[in-house]
Structure 1
Amino acid sequence: MAFVRRDRPAPVPGAGDTRARYRRILRFAAWNLAVTWWFELFLPRIGLARIARRTRSKRMQGFARNFHLMAVELGGLMIKVGQFLSSRLDVLPPEITRELEGLQDEVPPVPFPAIRALAEEELGARLEQVFAFVEEVPVAAASLGQAHRARLLPADAADTGLANVVLKVQRPGIDRIVDVDLAALRKVGGWLSRIRLVSSRADVPALVEEFAQTSFEEIDYLHEAANAERFEAGFAHDDRVSVPRVAWERTTRRLLALEDVTAVKITEAAALRAAGIDPAEVAPVFASVMFDQLFTTGFFHADPHPGNIFVTPDSAGPGGHPWKLTFIDFGMMGEVTDSTRSGLRKLLIAAAARDGKGLVAAINDVGVLAPSADIVELERAMTHLFARFGGMGFAELREVDPKEFRDFAVEFGDVIRSLPFQFPENFLLIIRAMSLTSGVCSSLDERFNLWDSVEPYAARLLRDERGNLLQDVAQQALDAAAIALRLPKRLEALASRLEEGSLAVANPRIERQLARLDRRARRSASALVFAALLIAGAVVRADDVVLGSVLMAGSVVPLLHGLWAGRRGP
């Protein structure tokens, strides 16, 4: 397409605009905080709590709708705020999260002259000197930037090995808008941190800073380009996955040039069938690739919605995969630490086993629940969840009475919001990624059952970690034995120090208590070693009958010692 004439770009927000934007956000927040204080704090104190309860749902829905309208009008980070808050099930009521779940980048595209001016400023040359052409109509427009198709000049195409690219360009003035929005959000976060009802449930200033870090990363296209290459490296030997290459020579902090990999959008079932690809075969592969990101590589795409994933037919030849999943848009990525990944593996294994209590224990291991959390109700809710809905596919779930779903959702939501916990930012990204994965797979095949993908993956994880399990159990047994051997001497030394001290403690009662403590310590240590060997033997016996039988037989020794140590002395 021919280039347009160099027109005057759209105006960048000035100081007056940013001040008005800042005041608009603060006015909205202040008014809604005042309304919340009146209904949720003041009226209950004067005996009118019934009025607050009766109007709560309507007020929450009104707040969410008004925020939605303001976010669409202002654009910038306000849309991102809505998307971020929609996943804060631990902070916000469902009336708000449901309304904000549908908040997308509903903003008009920036006129091409303004995009041209910014791109030429970044490149230091006119577009005609760098590209053979750039399409003026954007492929996609979002609150932070928009994308245009382009073609490199023949010389650059020969050097880079790329011809057609997609240019992702920041919205002009977005840096200033982000700064203003974050300043307003920090102000509101400071207000909220002074309200006990809020501060007891969430560290709002910390949430704002998490959000700020994510936002700065999203508008740094050099960071996104590095993410793309890191993601590609994680699947370098996987013929199911492809990633667009980066044209680094034409990439800056505000301009990103990626290989144009546009193909069939993953949820376009008719187009997939026309290309000879069965959508039902795509679903389990996509689920498996997402599991690999979360539980193996530890670096995952946090926004795998249908617009960010293509299915590309592959003509690489016999023996290879006939099509690839092509991921794009690496601005929102998540990273799973080793400790979190271990907890997530336990969580996945518990989910595959439909073990509600085990699932809660795994959630606790991840560090989501506060130490003071009373998890009895959560265990009961999880057990109920698995007993009633565990293992059902999307098609089966559609046949369940909607009222039963609603009743359980209300009950489960109340349990979640009553617990003292707060999801870390990356844990929210994990939940977002898995939620989108489930939705995409169900749209590909309504009979798709996520459990069918979870169970073999969990079994493989269990096999992979079984070798480490024996080592861990053996180490725990040795540690317990060492403690058991050292404990009597420590107790004797403690008794000696007490007897030699200034306090008269050498009396029969103290001696009897120390003797009982000594026997209990010996018995507990022996019981721990016995249980460790017995469990290790039972696990290993499935693969190695001889070793498993030896371990189980060996567990008799600490058992007998525990019985002997438990005998009452003279």
Structure 2
Amino acid sequence: MTSVRRDRADAVPGAGDPGARYRRILRFALWHLTVTWWFELFLPRVGLSRIAEHTRTKRMQRFAQRFHALAVELGGLMIKVGQFMSSRLDVLPPEITAELEGLQDEVPAVPFRAIRSLAEAELGAPLESVFASVEEIPIAAASLGQAHRAQLLPGNAADIGLASAVLKVQRPGIDAIVDVDLAALRKVGGWLSHVRLVSNRADIPALVKEFAQTSLEEIDYMNEAANAERFAADFADDERVTVPDVVWERTTRRALTLEDVTAIKITDSEALLAAGIDPAEVAPVFASVMFDQLFTNGFFHADPHPGNIFITPATDSSAGHPWKLTFIDFGMMGEVPPKTRSGLRKLLIAAASRDGKGLVAAIRDVGVLVPSADTVKLEQAMTHLFARFGGMGFAELREVDPREFRDFAMEFGDVVRTLPFQLPENFLLIIRAMSLTSGVCSSLDARFNLWDSVEPYAAQLLRDERGNIVQDVAQQALDVAGVVLRLPKRLDGLLSRIEDGSLSVSNPRLERQMARLSRTAQRLASALVFGALLIAGSVVRADDTVLGNVLMIVSVVPLLHVLWRGRR
């Protein structure tokens, strides 16, 4: 949930003709995809890449500004798409992320009369007979719903054990808006799936499907209530974390009642200091809790932006921890499958130990890098990255010469572009969660060093992994025994293929180099033919003007071949 812009409280984005909304989203996407294709793909092919580079910053800013305006006007999932893009600091340029980050705070509220009508229809009774009071001004508004502070009736409060609550109600008509937005996103995803540059990196239809599933789950408040209880169970024995209780008697698919746990916003440094809490001490604890969700529990909060996390000071002086991280809004949750979680654990251990080769192997295990990729240069680049920048905090990185960053980025980018990276399923929310975690930690402490949190956590993971070493060794022994038993038969098959000449060996890197050599040889041959025809034509022209002119004109053909091959 996000803070409310009260000056726009009467606006209800997304209202209107669904067909017009659908067409508007598609027109916006088609226009900007065409502009991107023209500048980023077509112009470089015809030797005009400098024009694309010169205009790139302004084009990115213009796109972000127009999408920002579109998202605020339409609301619905367009806000969610913009919020996701604003968190992708690792992929998208700052011209886009900086413009879209304001979407977290620009969601206009729905008038209370519409909220009241929907809530009463869901709860089956007037609000006055269900709650002692409900505040008309919302405490938070989001793209899919908004929250109002409420007081339970005395009898209910005694039975449940709490008096103050928060009533969260969906935006009226949001179901239809979500359906339209998802249809438009599927259409755009279909377009992108036909662009090889995009389809080689990610399965866009699968990502849209994942986004759709998450969005549909988010507008089902019964699902959110179940998520809250599951999350609370995961941290039941952790004194660092607390979760609001669900008032099931006042909860339906479109209305959710929770314990009011409003406290200090996690990034409100002044309020934290006034409460005697050092923001710099909050950052590593928050990072560690997020690591637990991703690498140990496998069930994580996928929307940990500052509006969804409070710091609650302990009221009991004997409490083991002086404050708690209080999570709210469990509509967007993610799950990490066991295989992916194992790969992520290996990735974290390799990163903490500055092991470039191990990090690349873990990236391959997670599924980000296809198995056939030649990773020698990537391993060298990662080793260089760890040697130069590993262990630096955000403040230290800001002190590095920008030219050094630019040179390394160009070198690293060249390596990355040659490798077959892809974005596997279930990764959309993982990336979002880690991006938001990093942003919150750096806002709490400008000198926050992620390595300081990663290293002890990775060390604990490593100790846990070693605890299973006997099981691992036994499994490896079985694998080796299986290989040994199959080896004679495989050797016999290999010898047979060598004898009949059917053995083939594939080396993608060597094949690419051979292809380049072949093209170079063809260009050289064409250049020689061009020179020979041109010289012959000029010599013959003195005695036979017609033949000489013909030879000189024909020489243009191999010249064009040289230029065409060179462009490819």
- TM bin, normalised by shorter chain, reads 0.7 to 0.9
1:293 maps to 2:293? yes
What CA distance in whole angstroms lies between the structure 1 residues aligned with 2:373 and 2:267?
41
Distance apart, 1:241 and its partner CA = 0.9
The equivalent of 2:242 in structure 1 is 242
C-alpha offsets along residues 44-77 of structure 1, whole Å, 9 cap, x if unaligned? Answer: 5666555444434433332232122211111111
Larger relative contact order (Cα-Cα within 8 Å, sequence gap ≥ 6): 2
Report 1:97-496 matches (<5 A): 99-104=99-104, 106-316=106-316, 318=318, 320-413=320-413, 415-481=415-481, 483-484=483-484, 487-488=487-488
What CA distance in whole angstroms lies between the structure 1 residues aligned with 2:451 and 2:377?
24
Stretch moving more, 409-418 or 269-278 = 409-418
Distance apart, 1:227 and its partner CA = 0.6
What CA distance in whole angstroms lies between the structure 1 residues aligned with 2:271 and 2:345?
36
Find the residue that maps to 1:426 and give its secondary structure.
coil
Whether the aligned pair in 1 keeps the contact of 2:244 and 2:328 (CA below 8 Å) is yes
Distance apart, 1:38 and its partner CA = 3.8
What CA distance in whole angstroms lies between the structure 1 residues aligned with 2:489 and 2:196?
50
User: Which amino acid in structure 1 is aligned with residue 264 of structure 2?
Assistant: V
User: Which amino acid in structure 1 is aligned with residue 34 of structure 2?
Assistant: A
Whether the aligned pair in 2 keeps the contact of 1:105 and 1:143 (CA below 8 Å) is no
Find the residue that maps to 1:320 and give its secondary structure.
coil
What CA distance in whole angstroms lies between the structure 2 residues aligned with 1:47 and 1:341?
45
C-alpha offsets along residues 436-485 of structure 1, whole Å, 9 cap, x if unaligned? Answer: 22332333333432222211211111111113224322432344245436
- Seen in structure 2, the aligned counterparts of structure 1 residues 318 and 344 have a Cα distance that, compared at 3 Å, is same
C-alpha offsets along residues 366-412 of structure 1, whole Å, 9 cap, x if unaligned? Answer: 11112343333432332222111111123322322234334444554
- Seen in structure 2, the aligned counterparts of structure 1 residues 346 and 85 have a Cα distance that, compared at 3 Å, is same
Stretch moving more, 51-60 or 462-471 = 51-60
Number of aligned residue pairs: 491
- Seen in structure 2, the aligned counterparts of structure 1 residues 114 and 299 have a Cα distance that, compared at 3 Å, is same
The equivalent of 1:81 in structure 2 is 81
What CA distance in whole angstroms lies between the structure 1 residues aligned with 2:195 and 2:170?
37
- Seen in structure 2, the aligned counterparts of structure 1 residues 10 and 444 have a Cα distance that, compared at 3 Å, is closer
Find the residue that maps to 2:379 and give its secondary structure.
helix
- Seen in structure 2, the aligned counterparts of structure 1 residues 425 and 200 have a Cα distance that, compared at 3 Å, is closer
User: Which amino acid in structure 2 is aligned with residue 281 of structure 1?
Assistant: E
Find the residue that maps to 1:334 and give its secondary structure.
strand
Whether the aligned pair in 2 keeps the contact of 1:10 and 1:114 (CA below 8 Å) is no
C-alpha offsets along residues 102-135 of structure 1, whole Å, 9 cap, x if unaligned? Answer: 5435221111111111111111111111111111
What CA distance in whole angstroms lies between the structure 2 residues aligned with 1:445 and 1:278?
10
Distance apart, 1:335 and its partner CA = 0.9
Stretch moving more, 106-115 or 378-387 = 378-387
Whether the aligned pair in 1 keeps the contact of 2:13 and 2:72 (CA below 8 Å) is no
Stretch moving more, 357-366 or 443-452 = 443-452
User: Which amino acid in structure 2 is aligned with residue 290 of structure 1?
Assistant: M
- Seen in structure 2, the aligned counterparts of structure 1 residues 187 and 317 have a Cα distance that, compared at 3 Å, is same
The equivalent of 1:6 in structure 2 is none
Percent same amino acid among aligned pairs?
Answer: 80
- Seen in structure 2, the aligned counterparts of structure 1 residues 202 and 340 have a Cα distance that, compared at 3 Å, is closer
User: Which amino acid in structure 1 is aligned with residue 471 of structure 2?
Assistant: Q
Stretch moving more, 229-238 or 302-311 = 302-311
- Seen in structure 2, the aligned counterparts of structure 1 residues 128 and 37 have a Cα distance that, compared at 3 Å, is same
What CA distance in whole angstroms lies between the structure 2 residues aligned with 1:11 and 1:459?
50
User: Which amino acid in structure 2 is aligned with residue 155 of structure 1?
Assistant: G
Whether the aligned pair in 1 keeps the contact of 2:200 and 2:421 (CA below 8 Å) is no
Report 1:519-558 matches (<5 A): none
The equivalent of 1:28 in structure 2 is 28
What CA distance in whole angstroms lies between the structure 2 residues aligned with 1:250 and 1:98?
39
Q: CA RMSD of the aligned region, Å?
A: 3.0
C-alpha offsets along residues 23-49 of structure 1, whole Å, 9 cap, x if unaligned? Answer: 211221222233334444555566655
C-alpha offsets along residues 280-301 of structure 1, whole Å, 9 cap, x if unaligned? Answer: 3322222221111111111111
The equivalent of 1:537 in structure 2 is none
Stretch moving more, 461-470 or 90-99 = 90-99
- Seen in structure 2, the aligned counterparts of structure 1 residues 244 and 85 have a Cα distance that, compared at 3 Å, is same
What CA distance in whole angstroms lies between the structure 1 residues aligned with 2:417 and 2:241?
38
What CA distance in whole angstroms lies between the structure 2 residues aligned with 1:478 and 1:200?
36
Distance apart, 1:178 and its partner CA = 0.8
Find the residue that maps to 2:325 and give its secondary structure.
strand
Q: What runs of 5+ residues in structure 2 fail to find an aligned partner?
A: 1-9, 500-568
- Seen in structure 2, the aligned counterparts of structure 1 residues 367 and 89 have a Cα distance that, compared at 3 Å, is farther
User: Which amino acid in structure 2 is aligned with residue 207 of structure 1?
Assistant: L
User: Which amino acid in structure 2 is aligned with residue 277 of structure 1?
Assistant: I
Find the residue that maps to 1:364 and give its secondary structure.
helix
Distance apart, 1:486 and its partner CA = 6.0
Whether the aligned pair in 1 keeps the contact of 2:206 and 2:425 (CA below 8 Å) is no
What CA distance in whole angstroms lies between the structure 2 residues aligned with 1:439 and 1:36?
28
Q: What runs of 5+ residues in structure 1 fail to find an aligned partner?
A: 1-8, 499-504, 511-570
What CA distance in whole angstroms lies between the structure 1 residues aligned with 2:13 and 2:349?
52
- Seen in structure 2, the aligned counterparts of structure 1 residues 481 and 91 have a Cα distance that, compared at 3 Å, is same
Stretch moving more, 102-111 or 164-173 = 102-111
Distance apart, 1:182 and its partner CA = 1.3
Distance apart, 1:237 and its partner CA = 0.9
What CA distance in whole angstroms lies between the structure 2 residues aligned with 1:292 and 1:146?
29
C-alpha offsets along residues 411-446 of structure 1, whole Å, 9 cap, x if unaligned? Answer: 545544553222235323223222322332333333
- Seen in structure 2, the aligned counterparts of structure 1 residues 316 and 417 have a Cα distance that, compared at 3 Å, is farther
- Seen in structure 2, the aligned counterparts of structure 1 residues 88 and 418 have a Cα distance that, compared at 3 Å, is farther
The equivalent of 2:18 in structure 1 is 18
What CA distance in whole angstroms lies between the structure 1 residues aligned with 2:492 and 2:384?
50
Normalised by the size of structure 2, how large is the TM-score?
0.79
User: Which amino acid in structure 1 is aligned with residue 441 of structure 2?
Assistant: C
User: Which amino acid in structure 2 is aligned with residue 345 of structure 1?
Assistant: R
Whether the aligned pair in 2 keeps the contact of 1:90 and 1:417 (CA below 8 Å) is no
- Seen in structure 2, the aligned counterparts of structure 1 residues 411 and 290 have a Cα distance that, compared at 3 Å, is same
What CA distance in whole angstroms lies between the structure 1 residues aligned with 2:467 and 2:365?
21
User: Which amino acid in structure 1 is aligned with residue 376 of structure 2?
Assistant: V
User: Which amino acid in structure 2 is aligned with residue 116 of structure 1?
Assistant: R
